[in-house]
Structure 1
Amino acid sequence: MTRWLVTGGAGYIGAHVAETLLTTGREVTVLDDLSSGHREFVPEQATFVEGSLLDHDALRQAFTERVDGVVHLAGFKYAGVSVQRPLHTYRQNVTGTIELLAAMREAGVTRMVFSSSAGVYGTPHVDRVTEETPTAPESPYGQSKLVGEWLLADEAKAAALAGRAFSGVALRYFNVIGSSTPRIHDTSPHNLIPKVFTALREGQTPQINGNDYPTPDGTNVRDYVHVGDIALAHAAAADRLERGIPLRPVYNLGSGTGASVTQLMDAITRTTDIAFTPTIAPRRPGDPASIVADGTAAARDLDWTMRHTLDEMISSAWSAARTAN
């Protein structure tokens, strides 16, 4: 039985990934400093190490047990806030990834699935982005994720030159919503869905950040994907790396269609039975107008597919949020 280290495995996405790896027959170690994650999100069957990638003792402890691969999700993920805190963002996301790769090399771990982001594309001037769409990140967060991809690719080149084994793949995904279990839900104060749910529970009116974007209804268009589908893609990538199946350096995990924030708000009204008209707030810095992905390559190589409708995603998120509160 193989063991995978999941960095950021106490977070909303990371905990889903950890649970999926366990259900597919693997052992799991979770490394998380709980700065945004939650201890109760970590599956009971997983080994938990509290600490960050910048904590050398915790990082060393995470590799005490044999580790066969790493799913790297730890990092600072808020694009808008990263504009205000660029140094913090680069320290967490770039320096942290360097420290992790160094620890992997020291421990002889040769496989990594890297959690990247659609933020590497910035505002693309195409209807749907593919893996060949030029990258042009518009925030320190997006830039840090692109640097992470470069680090992964460069480490693979260095390993090949030195005659060492190393294989890695980066998954660029989009707006993650929903829940596969009531035990894990999105608690981010910056993500749209929990912000809307909090407002509804408190009797307040949810807000939309900007309605003057060059999109059909003026609000951001995003590719909303279910967290359970994202977790399955990570497990599929881990499986391919274990079996030595060649993969592309990066894959998009997207629906190919997308929905506007206004459409999302309408779906929230339908699934919660709470009628509201959102207020309009200023744009957030670093937010692109529209980004939708072509997931053809991931469908071919990682069995990627969208298994949930937008209403189903929101319904599962609403159910998990109400259970938690």
Structure 2
Amino acid sequence: MKILVTGAAGFIGFHVSQILLKKGYDVIGLDNINNYYDVELKFSRLNELGISKEHANSFNRLCESQSLKRFKFVRMNLENREELPKLFETENIDIVCNLAAQAGVRYSLENPESYVDSNLVGFLNILECCRNFNIKHLVYASSSSVYGLNKKIPFSTTDNVDNPISLYAATKKSNELMAHTYSHLFKFPTTGLRFFTVYGPWGRPDMAMFLFTDAITKNKPIKVFNYGKMERDFTYIDDIVEGIVRIIEKDTTKRVENKELYKIYNIGNNNSVKLLDFITEIEKNLGKEAQKDMLPIQPGDVERTWANVDDLIKDYDYSPNTSIEDGVSQFIDWFKMYYNVN
């Protein structure tokens, strides 16, 4: 089976590609390697997959991994209406795992156009390719941000999500609506995953885990928004990847027969952790106390997230089991190694 993983140079896409390759699948990785955050980290992830920076730099050219059989990579924009269908036509893809998107709640206030290009136009192009090239299953990234100011805890997929409070959240809600339309009209299965605060080795530099660790090691103050009165369903990357791969591997024949083509799931740790407790765990692993700059809540932020993952447990036997203690420890170990921090 051949699987296209978009966002393969990104945090989650990199890890998903690794596991799929270990399981023996053919994987095509796609990423535009934009400069939203440090591109060298993206190139380093690709290097782990056997793709050199030299080969990754050329747009729209499919290159093979130097060290991992069955992996190919192409640098491409999803919004490229001409090149994306060519990739589908030549590579006989079976399943698409669309993890590429312009990420970040706060950045969507500064650069809204990039969210329209990548998350809306790009996603439409993915849907069109799935429709025209008989893709068996589209698994795609949504986000917990679609819940907006939802007060009901934990968040459930049956909750109303008509009130997003950031453009990023609005694009992710739009993706779900677009997927529903294509599943209904063209009869192929789509599965949307609402991710909840993913962290771990090779994580994104714009996320709290990374920002806090980097600042503490450099003896700089950390920005603690809403004066620390925040809670998040922090989910370790291995638990996220396990859920994604189980969905990719499960046969969708019964879903098609039962006309259950469109599915949405929360994917998280099924728990809510106080931000200040999370910071304490980082301090413990670094052996240093953080200088805390207590600030009001940021536009687009919510005070609390918590995923109800009962549906994912029932349908895929999903079992997140990485504790905050173990997850933070593994991230800190990677951070020290990657950045040569003593």
Is 2:137 aligned against 1:75?
no
Letter matched to residue 92 of structure 2: R
Q: Distance in 1 between matches of 2:21 and 2:321?
A: 20
Aligned position for 1:13: 12
1:237 equivalent in alignment to 2:237: no
What is the number of equivalent residue pairs in this alignment? Answer: 306
CA displacement at 1:324 relative to structure 2:
1.2
Asked whether the 8 Å contact 1:123–1:291 carries over to 2, the reply is no
Distance 1:26 1:74, change over 3 A: same
54-63 or 143-152, which deviates more:
54-63
RMSD value, Cα: 1.7
Are 1:176 and 1:224, in contact at CA under 8 Å, matched by a contact in 2?
yes
Q: What is the rounded CA distance, in whole Å, between the counterparts of 1:322 and 1:13 in structure 2?
A: 20
Paired position in structure 2 for 1:51: 76
Are the aligned partners of 2:216 and 2:289 in contact in 1 as well (CA < 8 Å)?
no
Aligned partner of 2:211 among 183, 187, 195: 195
For structure 1, the 5+ residue unaligned runs are 161-165, 180-184, 212-217
Offset at 1:61?
4.7
Residue pair 2:222, 2:292 contacting (<8 A) in 1 also:
yes
Task: Name the residue aligned to 1:265.
Answer: 279
In the superposition, relative to structure 1, how do residues 103 and 263 fare at CA in structure 2: closer, same or farther (>3 Å)? same
Report the alpha carbon displacement of residue 119 of structure 1 after superposing the two structures with TM. Answer: 0.6
Using structure 1 for the length normalisation, give the TM-score.
0.89
1:186 to 187, 203, 213: 203
- Would the aligned equivalents of 2:137 and 2:252 in 1 still touch at CA under 8 Å? no
Q: Do 1:124 and 1:291's aligned partners in 2 also have CA atoms closer than 8 Å?
A: no
Q: Distance in 2 between matches of 1:312 and 1:113?
A: 28
State the Cα distance separating 1:116 from its structure 2 match.
0.7
Letter of the aligned partner of 2:166 in structure 1?
A: S
**Structure 1 runs of 4+ off > 3 angstroms?**
none
Structure 1 SS opposite 2:4: strand
Q: Distance in 2 between matches of 1:200 and 1:300?
A: 40
Can you list the C-alpha shifts for 1:61-91, whole angstroms capped at 9, x where unaligned? Answer: 5322121010001011101111232232122
2:167 maps to which of 127, 136, 140: 140
Q: What is aligned with 2:58?
A: none
Match of 1:118 among 119, 144, 147: 144
Instruction: Tell me which amino acid in the other structure corresponds to 1:33.
Output: N
Residue equivalent to 2:177: 150
Amino acid at match of 1:59: L
Note if 1:174 corresponds to 2:196. Answer: yes
Match of 2:305 in 1: 291
The equivalent residue for 1:33 is 32
Are residue 278 (structure 1) and residue 300 (structure 2) matched? no
How far has the Cα of 1:220 moved from its partner? Answer: 1.4
User: In the alignment, is the contact (CA less than 8 A) between 1:49 and 1:58 conserved in 2?
Assistant: no
3-state SS of 2:18 partner: helix
Task: Mark the runs of 5 or more structure 2 residues left unpaired by the alignment.
Answer: 51-67
1:314 aligned partner: 328
Cα distance in structure 2, aligned partners of 1:151 and 1:110 = 17
Q: Secondary structure at the match of 2:103?
A: coil
Return the offset for 1:245. Answer: 4.4
For 1:204 and 1:62, the matched residues in 2 are separated by 46
Q: Distance in 1 between matches of 2:77 and 2:44?
A: 17
CA distance in 2, matches of 1:140, 1:108: 31
Residue 244 to residue 24, structure 1, CA distance change in 2 (3 Å) = farther
Counterparts of 1:318 and 1:57, CA distance in 2: 42
Paired residue type of 1:192: A
2:186 maps to 159
2: CA distance, partners of 1:199 / 1:58: 41
Query: Could you state the TM-score of these two structures normalised by the residue count of structure 2?
Result: 0.85
User: Percent identity of the aligned residues?
Assistant: 22
On the 8 A contact 2:157/2:265 being kept in 1, the answer is: yes
Q: Is the 8 A contact 1:222 1:292 kept in 2?
A: yes
Residue type at the aligned position of 2:25: R
Is the CA contact (8 Å cut-off) linking 2:247 and 2:316 kept in structure 1?
A: yes
Say if 2:6 and 2:30, in contact at 8 Å, map to a contact too: yes
Name the amino acid aligned to 1:271.
N
Distance 1:321-1:61 versus aligned 2 partners, 3 A rule:
farther
Deviation at 1:58, TM superposition (A): 4.2
Q: Residues 216-227 of structure 1 correspond to what in structure 2 (within 5 A)?
A: 218-227=228-237
Inter-partner Cα distance in structure 2 for 1:252 and 1:112: 16
Shift of 1:172: 0.7
Report the alpha carbon displacement of residue 127 of structure 1 after superposing the two structures with TM. 1.9
Q: Distance in 2 between matches of 1:62 and 1:273?
A: 49
Deviation of 1:27 (Å): 1.1
